[in-house]
Amino acid sequence: MILTVTLNPSVDRALELDVLVRGEVLRAGDSHIDPGGKGVNVSRALLANGVRSTAVVPAGGAEGDQLVDMLKAEGVDMLAVPIAGRTRSNITLAEPDGTVTKINEAGPVLSESEFTQICEAVLTAAGSAEWVVLCGSLPPGLPIEAFTGLCERLVTAGVRVAVDSSGPALRAGVAAGAALVKPNREELAEAVGTELVALGDVLAACDKLREAGAGTVLASLGSEGAVLVDDSGVLIGAAPVSVPRSTVGAGDAMLAGFLGAGANGEAALIEGLAWGAAAVSLPGSRMPGPGDLDRTHIRIDRDPDPLRRLRRD
C-alpha cells in the first residue's frame, strides 16, 4: 500500500476554452470537476491502475464534503481529518494548444491541534505502507519546522518517504533524508538557487539534492520528459504527446507510475513517463487508467557523460 498525504487538497474545476482573452465574456466548452491536490492525484492514479493506496486529507466546509464525496465515488481509500477551515477550490482554464492557466486558492489555515491529528493519522497508517508520499503546497501559516518534524519522524521510523513539493518543504524533505524527491524544473532550480538551462545543469542540480540528503531524484521536465538520478547512475527519458489537453496532474501521474512500478530503474521510469504522458492527453485533472497508457514511443537514454561527476569532483 502507498500512503499519500496532501496537506492542502482542493476541489478542481477545469474549463476548456477556444482561447483565453482577458476582459472578455467567454463561453466554456467541456467542464470537469475533480478531487485535487498532488497526493490525491497520486492515489487516484494508483487506484485507476490497480495499485493499493490510501489518501490522507484534511477536509472542511462544503468543499471538504464535496472532496470526500468525490473520492468515495471514485473508490479511493482515505483518511479524512476534519478541520475548521474551508477546503480550497481551484480553477483551470485549458486552451486547445495545451496552454493551461491555473488559479489556485491559498487554502485553509491548520491549527496546531489539527496538524497534530493529521500527523498521528499518517504515522499510524505508515506502519503498513511501502511508501509515504508527502505532496503539494503547505497550508498557509504552517511552520516549516512542523513539516520538517513530520518528515524526520517518518524517516527515523524507517519509512520510505517521497516528497513532491517546492521551496522550503522540498528542501526540508531533502535534509530529512527522503528516499525520493520529485521536483519539476522550476522547483529544482529554486531548490539549488541556479538557473537550469541545459541538461547538464539539471543533472548537476539533481546531484546537489542527493549530496544534501535525498536518496533518488526524479525530475520532471514537462514536454522534455524526465531524468532519474540514483545510486546506479542517470537515466534520461522522453514520452511525446501528440495532442496535449491538460498538464494538470501530469507530474502526479508520473510519480504514481514510478512508485507503482517499484520506484527503481528503467522499468519504473518508463512506467512513470507513460502515466504522465497519458495524463497530458486527458482533460482536466483526470488520471489515466490502463487503457490510456502507451509505452511504445518512450525513449530512454543513459547519461551521455558518465564521467561528469568525477571531473566535477
Which of the residues are catalytic?
A: 252
- If one counts every other C-beta atom within 10 angstroms of the C-beta of residue 298, the result is 18
> Are 118 and 110 in contact, with CB atoms under 8 Å apart?
yes
Q: Report how far apart, in Å, the C-alpha atoms of 154 and of each of 132, 133, 158 are.
A: 8, 11, 7
Q: How far apart are CA 204 and CA 169, in angstroms?
A: 21
* CA dihedral sign, ordered 235, 5, 11, 293: positive
Find, among 12, 36, 249, 9, the residue nearest to 108 by Cα. 9
Question: What does the block give as the cell for 27?
Answer: 463561453
